Amino acid sequence: MPMNFGPDYVRAIAPYQGGKPISEVAREFGLQEASIVKLASNENPLGIPESAKQAMMAALEDLSRYPDSNGFDLKAAISAKFGVPTDWITLGNGSNDILELAARSLVSPGQSVVYSQYSFAVYPLATQAIGARAIVVAAKDFGHDLPAMRAAITEDTRLVFVANPNNPTGTFIDGEQIAAFIRSVPSHVVIVLDEAYTEYLSPSQRYDAFAWVAQHPNLIVSRSFSKAYGLAGLRIGFGIAQPGLTDLMNRLRQPFNVNSLAQAAAIAALQDEAFLKKSAEINAQGYRQLTAAFDQMGITYVPSVGNFVLFRAGDDDNAGAKVNLALLKQGIIVRPVGNYGLPQWLRVSIGLPEENEAFIVALKSVLA
Ligand SMILES: *Cc1c(COP(=O)(O)O)cnc(C)c1O
């Protein structure tokens, strides 16, 4: 009899499928790394901010020491920038860490977690990892159906994940609807509002979720340094919640979950308004470039407010996988989303103008 280690709910987890690394595609398809364009993981095409690079160079000297476990300087910088008290802040090894800390600190095995169909892949992972029950609510027009999510909450629900903007669909719900949803959720249920792409919103779309935290002891807002701030490889993000929830999550986190280089880089990136502005601009420009090409080619896509676009690769059941493979052979890495239940679609991250162009040229030849 083969030995089955671990609980059933852990063995049932489907591992996270990330974007293929450039080195792997070069090896598999016999391509030069320099010729490969990666538009698969919603990374910042501008690279890391120069300000963050400088801050890390200065921080190198102290790497024999443990990081500041409480992230004093970074919390002060977050507090200064966003006007939140430092005891509302939880630092995470990526905002992924915050999502997991919320699940682990709030939900017992057997209790339920509510999230939307086609929402971020980490929600099912975080739910299954703790033996909790997922209540997956059907999406509406590829986005969250908030009234249906409210209705899906049961006695044993402890957590609701809402991504705004959502990944992988790029959909957006305006602030008033989100606020009304938060007000409607029973007080025994905690809402994680995942704002990994909030920096890309236009001024008219913006809302202040941190102000809602003051009114709602059951709200956690998560932010990431991986997208607009350009620090994906460092793994850093943060959560904002009232001290009750913040204290709970901080009991569970690893004492040194955020490394020293990440803390130093994040402080610099937070203050680098010019980089953030440029990131948003190049993204808006790239969105117009990609969607103009999709329109011209008659390709269906979901309008996106993030730094990526979900587009329909074809009508076959495995159109996404087929087009993905053909693109890989041409050195273009995008993201298949079959694991999200979208096997006919692909997600492309918005790159630099020349990267977007290389993708468009390759897609045209693949679909010809
Ligand atoms: C990318 C992403 C994150 C988190 O990324 P980290 O690198 O862990 O900060 C969180 N939520 C969504 C919806 C994302 O797309």
The protein residue whose alpha carbon is closest to atom 15 in ligand 1 is 167
How does residue 1 score in pLDDT terms, banded at 50, 70 and 90?
low
> Angle at the Cα of 197 (from 138 to 240), degrees rounded to 5?
95
CB 219 within 8 A of CB 190: yes
| Largest CA-CA distance found in the chain, in angstroms, rounded | 62
Q: How far, CA to CA in Å, does 368 sit from each of 133, 138, 354, 363?
A: 45, 34, 21, 8
State the residue for tokens 């601009």: 281
Output the CA 221–ligand 1 centroid distance in Å. 12
Query: Tell me, what's the pLDDT at 64?
Result: 97
Return the bridge partners of 336, or none.
Answer: 346
Output the CA 224–ligand 1 centroid distance in Å. 6
95 CB within 6 A, ligand 1: yes
pLDDT tens by residue, 103-146: 999 999 999 999 999 999 999 999 999 999 999 999 999 999 99
Query: Tell me, what's the pLDDT at 282?
Result: 98
171 CB within 6 A, ligand 1: no
Distance, in Å, from the CA atom of 247 to the CA atom of 242, rounded to the nearest integer, reads: 9
How does residue 16 score in pLDDT terms, banded at 50, 70 and 90?
confident
Query: Tell me, what's the pLDDT at 75?
Result: 98
Q: Which domains are seen in the chain, by residue range?
A: 17-47+274-367 (3.90.1150.10), 50-271 (3.40.640.10)
How does residue 223 score in pLDDT terms, banded at 50, 70 and 90?
very high
Output the CA 166–ligand 1 centroid distance in Å. 10
39 CB within 6 A, ligand 1: no
The protein residue whose alpha carbon is closest to atom 10 in ligand 1 is 196
Token readout for 166 is 């959502």
Residue 184 has pLDDT above 80, yes or no: yes
How does residue 247 score in pLDDT terms, banded at 50, 70 and 90?
very high
Classified as helix, coil or strand, 133 is strand
The protein residue whose alpha carbon is closest to atom 14 in ligand 1 is 196
pLDDT tens by residue, 99-110: 999 999 999 999
The protein residue whose alpha carbon is closest to atom 6 in ligand 1 is 94
Token readout for 33 is 């790394």
Output the CA 214–ligand 1 centroid distance in Å. 24
Residue 4 has pLDDT above 80, yes or no: yes
Ligand 1 pocket, mutate which of 99, 119, 120 (most atoms under 8 A from CB): 120
226 CB within 6 A, ligand 1: yes
224 CB within 6 A, ligand 1: yes
Distance, in Å, from the CA atom of 368 to the CA atom of 363, rounded to the nearest integer, reads: 8
Q: What is the mean pLDDT of the chain?
A: 96
Residue 164 has pLDDT above 90, yes or no: yes
> pTM for the complete prediction?
0.97
Output the CA 162–ligand 1 centroid distance in Å. 12
Closest C-alpha to 282, from 361, 219, 353: 353
Output the CA 172–ligand 1 centroid distance in Å. 16
Q: Which atom of ligand 1 is nearest to the CA of 96?
A: 8
Residue 17 has pLDDT above 90, yes or no: no
How does residue 20 score in pLDDT terms, banded at 50, 70 and 90?
confident
Query: Tell me, what's the pLDDT at 18?
Result: 79
Token readout for 59 is 């921080």
Output the CA 312–ligand 1 centroid distance in Å. 23
State the residue for tokens 């969250």: 144
Ligand 1 pocket, mutate which of 17, 41, 91, 95 (most atoms under 8 A from CB): 95
Residue 360 has pLDDT above 80, yes or no: yes
Residue 251 has pLDDT above 70, yes or no: yes
Output the CA 209–ligand 1 centroid distance in Å. 17
Ligand 1 pocket, mutate which of 43, 99, 122, 144 (most atoms under 8 A from CB): 122
Query: Tell me, what's the pLDDT at 241?
Result: 98
The protein residue whose alpha carbon is closest to atom 12 in ligand 1 is 196
192 CB within 6 A, ligand 1: no
